[in-house]
Amino acid sequence: AQTVTQSQPEMSVQEAETVTLSCTYDTSESDYYLFWYKQPPSRQMILVIRQEAYKQQNATENRFSVNFQKAAKSFSLKISDSQLGDAAMYFCAYRSWGTASKLTFGTGTRLQVTL
């Protein structure tokens, strides 16, 4: 079974600064997908960014980028130019390649953004 570990329960960043959230995972599979989901106080689960394991290039979405290290099984999220609206719970998630495969989540990192 796959496991996802987020070792930072809470992080804080000043507005306009950059922060990196860590995620490691354990799997014996070679093909899979990794995601970062954001959960604001409304508790809606919002997809932030995704990475296909077969792609060497790190994914980017505007101010959000990842550092995907397949050999190290590491998948960190970098948020640049942090904004107050980025304050939320961030979950790293793993999904196997295959039909109807589920998401496995990490325990989450609560991000605070300060003025």
Partner 1 sequence: AAGVIQSPRHLIKEKRETATLKCYPIPRHDTVYWYQQGPGQDPQFLISFYEKMQSDKGSIPDRFSAQQFSDYHSELNMSSLELGDSALYFCASSLAVQTETNTEAFFGQGTRLTVV
Binding site for partner 1 (CB under 8 A): 33, 35, 37, 42-47, 50, 52, 91, 95, 97-108
Closest CB 115 distance from partner 1, rounded Å: 25
| Cβ distance to partner 1 smaller for residue 79 or 108 | 108
Closest CB 90 distance from partner 1, rounded Å: 11
Closest CB 107 distance from partner 1, rounded Å: 5
| Cβ distance to partner 1 smaller for residue 16 or 46 | 46
3-state secondary structure string across 66-103: EEEECCCCEEEEEECCCCHHHCEEEEEEEEECCCCCCE
Distance of CA 43 to the CA centre of its chain: 16
112 vs 84: CA distance, rounded Å: 8
